[in-house]
Structure 1
Amino acid sequence: MPKPSAVTEAPSVVGSRLRQLRQRQGLSARELAHRLGISPSAVSQIERGVLQPSVARLIAMTDALGVPLAEVFGGPEQRDEMPEDLTGFALQRFGQGTEMTLESGVIFRRVSPGRTPGVDYFVSTYPPGSAAHPESGMFRHEGYEVGTVLSGELTIDFDGERVVLRAGDAISYPCSRPHRIHNTGSVDAVAQWLIVHPER
Structure 2
Amino acid sequence: MRKAPVTSANREGIVADEAEIIERVGPRLRAFRQTAGLTLSQLAAQTGLTPSTLSRLERAQIRPSLEQLLPLARVYGVPLDELVAAPAHGDPRVHLRPVRREGLTYVPLGVNRGELQAFKVIYPAVSDLPPARFHAHPGREWLYVLSGEVRLVLSDQITDLTVGEAAEFDTTTPHWIGNAHPTLPAEIIAIYGKQGGRIHLADLER
Contact between 2:113 and 2:194, CA under 8 Å: does it hold in 1?
no
Who wins on radius of gyration, i.e. which is larger?
A: 2
TM-score by length of 1: 0.51
TM-score by length of 2: 0.49
Matched, 1:86 2:82: no
- The structure 2 residue matched to 1:107, chosen from 105, 108, 125, is 105
Equivalent residue number for residue 191 of structure 2:
194
Equivalent residue number for residue 7 of structure 1:
none
Stretches of structure 2 that go unaligned for 5 or more consecutive residues are 1-73, 196-206
Alignment CA distance shift 1:92-1:153 (3 Å): farther
Alignment CA distance shift 1:124-1:85 (3 Å): same
Q: How many aligned residue pairs are there?
A: 119
Specify which structure has the bigger relative contact order, considering alpha-carbon pairs within 8 angstroms and separated by 6 or more residues. 1
Give the letter aligned to residue 125 of structure 1.
Answer: I
Q: Superposition pairs for residues 32-181 of structure 1, below 5 Å? A: 82-86=81-85, 88-89=87-88, 91=91, 93=93, 96-103=95-102, 105-112=103-110, 114-129=111-126, 130-131=128-129, 134-135=131-132, 138-181=134-177
Q: Percent identity?
A: 19
Equivalent residue number for residue 25 of structure 2:
none
Give the letter aligned to residue 162 of structure 2.
Answer: R
Runs of 4+ in structure 1 deviating by more than 4 angstroms, as ranges, are: 65-68
Stretches of structure 1 that go unaligned for 5 or more consecutive residues are 1-64, 72-78
C-alpha distance in structure 1 between counterparts of 2:97 and 2:190, whole Å: 15
Please identify which structure carries the higher helix content. Answer: 2
CA RMSD of aligned residues (A): 2.8
C-alpha distance in structure 2 between counterparts of 1:67 and 1:98, whole Å: 24
C-alpha distance in structure 1 between counterparts of 2:84 and 2:112, whole Å: 11
Residue deviations 1:75-107, cap 9 Å, x none?
xxxx56x4423353475537x20111011x100
